[in-house]
Chains A and B, each alone.
Chain A
Amino acid sequence: MHIPDIRLHEPRTIAEACELLNRYCDISKVLAGGTDLLVDLKQGRITGIEHLVSLRNIDGLESVEETGEAIRVGALVTLNQASGNETIRKFFPAMIDTIGSMAAYTIRNVATVVGNIAGAVPSSDLAPFFVVAGGEAELSNGESQRRMKVEDYILGPRETACGEYEILTHLLIPKPPPRTGISYQKFMLREANALAVAGVAARLTLAGSIGGGGGAGGGRDVGGVGGTGGTGGDGGTGDKRGTGGDRSTRGTGDGEGGIMDSCIAMTAVAPRPVIAREACAFLEGKEPSKEVFREAAAIARESARPITDIRGTKEYRFDLIEVLTERTLEEALSRARGE
């Protein structure tokens, strides 16, 4: 079991990296932590790769920045760095939980956050989190940047919207609006080094945050990640729609606050992360309760497209989705309430 005869490149700029990817096109791959890629290469699951382009020496990819409305995670930030980061701890306890459920300590010292998204493995744990949090992928081809929602970025198993010589340089997570809670529930067959049999992330934003609820549409500019400032050319973000901005919402108007906005996303139950749109639509405007969540979970179940594999059957995964959805909504709710 050996890594095939590859050539390693360690460019110093994104432009150089993209240039290399362009030159070696089909026979090259970006290398971040390598915990996914090197395992695949050793096992012969991907073949024909002759060049690896490491991001390690490129400046500006190694930090987590707080930029006004968003948190920006560079492509070299490891899982352990992210989970030790104060800003992330403050805004996204769900991301800390998610990372805590992933792999094992030593792997998390090497594996990157961005690599987990860029790899587009159907059981990625962070993908549903990024989807519900309204995360965006920042892509660069060395000359220009573009941005897209994480849910649009991941197209299928190991397939992304990343152009052949583009690099996913950063992931952006908008700071959650007030009275918002995010949670991730993962079901796995042992407590460490186990991929998800199924996983569900949810975000709930309760009404009653700004001016007593109602008409909060403008206030929850979840996607408003403008002003990141780190890289040039992202002035266009202001035009982007926030996640969920395409849906009309009804504020409940009362003090406690019904569910103003929600997003539920699942992993390991479809070729790519799935958003349980019907369940989200059902939740909007509802008073949160056990019954409502149970019903939402039953609706969410229908959005899953699982298959049977060594970790579980299709039927079992459907069942898990329902249970996990209910639990993740409960936890998101208590987080939204600041409990």
Chain B
Amino acid sequence: MKSLDESRYGNITLSVNGRIYNVSVRDNETLLDVLRDKLRLTGTKKGCDLGVCGACTVLVDGEPMNSCLLLASMMQGREITTIEGIAEDGRLHPVQRAFVREGAIQCGFCTPGMIVSAKALIDRNPDPSDEEIKDALSGNLCRCTGYTGIIRAVKNWKKYVKAEGAGKNTGVQDDVKRYETVGRSVPRVDAVNKVTGKAMYTADYHFQNMLHGRILGSTVPHGKIKRIDTSKAEALPGVVCVITGKDVPDVKYGVSPARYDEHVLAKDTVRYIGDEVAAVAAVDEETADRALGLIDVAYEELPAVFTPKEAIKEGAVRIHEGKRFRNNINTSVDHHFGDVERGFEEADYIREETFVGNHTYQNPMEPHAAIAYWDQHDRLNLYTATQVPHYVHYMLAHVFKIPLGRIKVIRPTVGGGFGGKAETTPLDLCAAILSRITGRPVKMVYTRKDMFHHGRGRHKQHMKFRLGVKKDGTITAFDSTIHLDGGAYTSFGVVTAYYAGSMIPTLYHIPNYRYRGYRVYTNKPACGAFRGHGVPQPRFAFECLLNMVADEIGIDPIAIRMKNAMDRNTRTCNDLDIRSCEFKATLEEVRKKSGWKKKYGKLPSGKGIGIGAGGFVSGAGYAIYRGEVRMSHEKTPKTFVKKAVFPHGNAMVKVLEDGMAVVLFIGAAEIGQGAETVLSQMCAEALGIPLERVYIRAEDTDISPVDLGAYSSRVTLMGGNAVVMASRAVVKKLLPIAAETLQCKPSELIAKDGKILREGDPGKNLDWAEAARIYFNEKGPLVGTGFYKPPAGLGGDYKGAAVGTSPAYSFGSSVCELSVDLETGKISLERFTDYHDCGTPINPMAVHGQVEGAIVMGVGETVMEDVVYDERGGIVNPNLHEYLLMTIKDTPEIFSGIVDSYEPEGPFGAKEIGEGSTLPVLGAVAHAIANATGVWIRELPITPEKILKALKEKERMRRGGIQEKPRGLWQEGKPSPPYKRKPARGKKAVDPKKLFGKK
């Protein structure tokens, strides 16, 4: 056991939230660790541990400070206030109420720090200006809200000094009045827990006798493990267990069943710097950390490749064995719909451009965490920060070869995901194994650096696009070739490679369309699914190209979109069925609202305005694994059939015996996006009772029926439909009871406002709860169940046709206004105007929150975010100091609007907003920059340096009298034959060698 060196400890006495504590601490402990681990005040969060994110902000003698950079032993005699101490006598502080009401909260991970900073601000300055608010909160990063709601909340805090009761929201757009509860901007159901620090995230849990685990990553980008010596680590006092590749199941796992290619810990080969090699469990995290440093690994280094270009070369080192991965190509797609050659012949103008994306990382504010223990029934209990409890559940069963029934997955409050938490992590698996071996609970939490190494961020895409249009702007053909930099493992990559092509034709009518995609393995962390999955970069490139073409042929960029815009009830060229579609309305609205006509082409140099559009699926049409729910990996996978074998969303509604409360059980993952709130709203609406009586339980796979998770923007539509069905089943049981009392036919009755009433004769009614009580007395538990399966037959019959299918599609347009300092290239964002077609907004405030967050994230991706690698594939900036996220001071003014729309397949007419909201942003920013400067930057991120370089190049050419080569090509005198649509057919992938030969 750990040798006890008492002299390392000292006692301090400090006051925390008015209570005096005497704590024994070591000199190297931070105040943050002492608050969280010793005083168990877990409301204060750890997001970076390096002073940049502000999640750890507390008041020290009234002043806000980052507790991760304060030594606990220096806190002797100081007065500390944490988020738990902001509310007084159980009454929320006005700032907390303002956060609840003004839509300042999503995942809530930044919220405690934000509120502490905001409270200190209004204590010293009760009437802060916008500038002062931004300065005071400048050290608090938020990845979800786009800061807009937060600024609004702090500005309006005084409104919430009194009036604690319910009330209408302020500051947010008017409710949509189609329904009672649906369409109202009600505060989030989890808001109070999030503003008080009571919300429990995975890392906030503590279990008796718990161990702490850490994982060792490879230090070489590619190599064979020759030898691992763990003896020194094992000998370190406090270390309980060390495992390596030999201790983990010989089962590969991953996301796409066709490409499971990861081991829990490397068996013999490591493929990137950070690839998991060993794991340690120890009495505390610090000891586990120290033990990692004592594990001696000898590698035989192999050559490594870091870009698709290098990796695809003949003779390049192979990252994975197997014939199918020739030239390191992990997935290849060749889709051809219509006839592009013919389409280009028909075009009057053709332009070809090359674009390059960036490696962006989701960076949810909450780091991944997992706690595992095996209970008395020998069942694995796993607490994990995930967007996909079901897939984690399924993958644990697969790796450990046990039935789903022997595993229980608990998803505590999750601090954001954006796709970064959409798969099973090494933490989940290692914690389960370490716990199995040691017989103790094991907690494992990633550091921010670990998160970057675990990866699963956006694929960097190298895109070659060719677009043909008629003189009037009508698109005749589009041809694209994309190389996706995949990193060392598949993760979601197969799907990503398909998505990169499949979503382009949803926005515009493209009669002839070709997409060739190659996802290539490289010796870097695996890339995965990041908000907008595979689509934002091609969408950015397409929107840029469309704008270039519009400018070149002299058509207004909005007009060219109008010309080609998707219409409702259309089957796209790649066999996707669009039902509701108000894309044109979004274009029209942003045009009006932004004053486009007065501005486009009329702004002075250095000022720019730009447009981008985008849209996304409302849930993938098919599950990631296609068969039925299976017990374990042993059963052979079923062949793919064009229908959902099992329901993707499932819900259960149970009414309490007195009829005064309803519990909604659904496995949908709340990750900050507001799933629990909108599902509760839909439940209340369908039941005809006030929202206050609905309680949701979604955190435990034992309790709630399966839902596939929070990915592909599926929860509102799919989970919502299941909830509506379950709720209606309950109402159906109540109506006959009420009909008996009211002496009428059940068919004449409806449930509304907490009553069962006769339509048109509301005087005649029975209290809803009373009806429920009668039901219970007579028939026992009042329960309804519901499920949702996407419609059968979605999509075409070609290979990969499943990706991109969805019951419904969203649409949106964004206009960006900014200025560029032409001497330094610095961009100053001014305004964003955004309109979306998300069907019926279930909660407009939540919709705007998604849009505001997506805009700020999207701008960041366009102008500053990038994971930078050194020449050995090591990440140069795996921290929030150097991987730049937009701060509150960088945030533009945002207007978010919703156009009137109704999706027949969605619950109450709803569809998605979460991912679609990101898609228009990148193109709009790039266009505005080009509009301000006269230069197009085709490589993300568009940094000031790149802008300045392009400006200088342009100036150099102007001085030298060099004409810029016309990039587009006019084709004169071609007759345009009438277009005949060929049946959509996917073609077989080309031989990669041929592809390489062409380059």
Interface residues of chain A, those whose CB is within 8 Å of chain B, are 1-8, 10, 31, 34-35, 38-39, 42-43, 52, 54, 56, 80, 100, 103-107, 109-110, 187, 189-195, 310-313, 316, 319-320, 323
Closest to A104 in B: B139
- A187 contacts which of B64, B71, B826, B881 (Cβ < 8 Å)? B826
Centre residue among A34, A100, A109 by max chain B CB count within 10 A: A109
Known A1-B449, A8-B74, A35-B69; contact A106-B139, beta-carbon cutoff 8 A: yes
CB pair B884 A56 closer than 8 Å: no
Interface residues of B (CB under 8 A from A): 8, 26-30, 49-52, 54, 57, 63-66, 69-71, 73-74, 117, 135-140, 285-286, 289, 447, 449, 823-824, 826, 864, 868, 876-877, 879, 881-882, 884, 886-890, 943-945, 948-949
Question: Known contacts being A42-B49, A103-B139, A106-B117, is A190 close to B890, with CB within 8 Å?
Answer: yes
Please tell me if the beta carbons of B868 and A38 are within 8 angstroms of each other in the complex: no
Give 13 A-B pairs besides A3-B71, A106-B66 with Cβ atoms closer than 8 angstroms: A2-B289, A3-B29, A5-B28, A8-B71, A38-B51, A39-B51, A52-B71, A103-B139, A106-B64, A190-B889, A195-B881, A316-B948, A323-B823
A106 touches B54 (CB 8 A): yes
Residues of chain B within 8 A of A110, CB atoms compared: 65-66, 69-70
Question: Is B285 in contact with A2, judged by CB distance below 8 angstroms?
Answer: yes
Contact B74–A54 (Cβ < 8 Å):
yes
A323 partner residues in chain B, CB cutoff 8 A? 823-824
A62 to chain B, nearest CB (A): 13
Which residue from chain B places its CB closest to the CB of A4 in the assembled complex? Answer: B28
CB pair B887–A34 under 8 Å, yes or no, is: no
How far apart are the CA atoms of A5 and B52 in the complex, in Å?
Answer: 23
A191 lies within 8 A of B285 (CB): no
Q: Quote the shortest CB–CB distance from B105 to chain A (angstroms).
A: 20
Bound CA span A323–B826, Å? 12
CB B861 to nearest CB in A, in angstroms, measures 13
Complex A-B: 26 CB contacts under 8 Å: A1-B49, A1-B449, A2-B285, A3-B28, A7-B27, A8-B27, A8-B71, A31-B71, A35-B69, A42-B50, A43-B50, A56-B74, A104-B54, A105-B135, A105-B137, A106-B54, A106-B64, A109-B65, A189-B944, A190-B864, A190-B887, A311-B882, A316-B948, A316-B949, A320-B824, A323-B823
Complex interface: chain A residues within 8 A of B74 (CB): 8, 10, 54, 56
Residue of B51, B54, B71, B289 with most partner-chain A CB within 10 A: B51
CB closest residue in chain B, given A195: B881
Q: Which residues of A contact B30 (CB under 8 A)?
A: 3, 38
- How far does the Cβ of B118 sit from chain A's closest Cβ, in whole Å? 11
Name which residue of chain B comes closest to A2, CB basis: B286
The CA-CA distance from A2 to B945 in the complex, in Å, is 35
* Bound form: Cα–Cα A187–B824 in Å: 9
Give min CB distance, A83 to chain B, whole Å.
11
- Return the chain B residue nearest A44 by Cβ: B293
CA distance A284 to B884 in the complex (A): 41
How far apart sit A103 and B881, CA to CA, in the bound complex (Å)?
10
Contact A35 B51 (CB under 8 A): yes
How far apart sit A103 and B138, CA to CA, in the bound complex (Å)?
8
Contacts of A311 in B (CB 8 A): 882
Residues of B contacting A109 with CB < 8 Å? 63-65
Which one of B52, B286, B944, B948 contacts A193 once the chains associate, using CB atoms below 8 Å? B52
Check B886 against A190 for contact (C-beta < 8 Å): yes
- Taken together as a complex, chains A and B put the C-alpha atoms of A316 and B876 apart, in Å, by 20
Docked Cα-Cα span, A214 to B127, in Å, equals 49
CA distance A193 to B57 in the complex (A): 15
Task: Give the distance to chain B from A8, nearest Cβ to Cβ, in Å.
Answer: 4
Q: A105-B117, A106-B57, A189-B884 in contact; A2/B65 too (CB < 8 A)?
A: no
User: How far does the Cβ of B953 sit from chain A's closest Cβ, in whole Å?
Assistant: 12
Contact between chains at B881 and A5 (CB < 8 Å)? no
Judge whether B882 and A310 touch: CB under 8 Å. yes
| A316 partner residues in chain B, CB cutoff 8 A | 945, 948-949
Partner of A192, one of B65, B69, B138, B447: B138
CA distance A8 to B8 in the complex (A): 10
Rounded to whole angstroms, the CA-CA distance of A326 and B387 in the bound complex is 51
Q: Which residues of B contact A2 (CB under 8 A)?
A: 28, 285-286, 289
A191-B887 contact, Cβ under 8 Å, with A316-B945, A323-B824: yes
C-alpha gap A323/B64 in the complex (Å): 36
CA distance A43 to B135 in the complex (A): 27
The 10 closest A-B pairs by CB, nearest first: A104-B139, A191-B889, A192-B138, A3-B28, A104-B138, A8-B27, A106-B139, A192-B887, A323-B823, A316-B945
Q: Given A105-B136, A105-B137, A323-B823, are A5 and B51 neighbors across the interface (CB < 8 Å)?
A: no
Chain A proximity of B212: nearest CB distance (Å): 12
The minimal Cβ–Cβ distance linking A97 to chain B, given in whole angstroms, is 13
- Which residues from A are CB-within-8-Å of B65? 106, 109-110
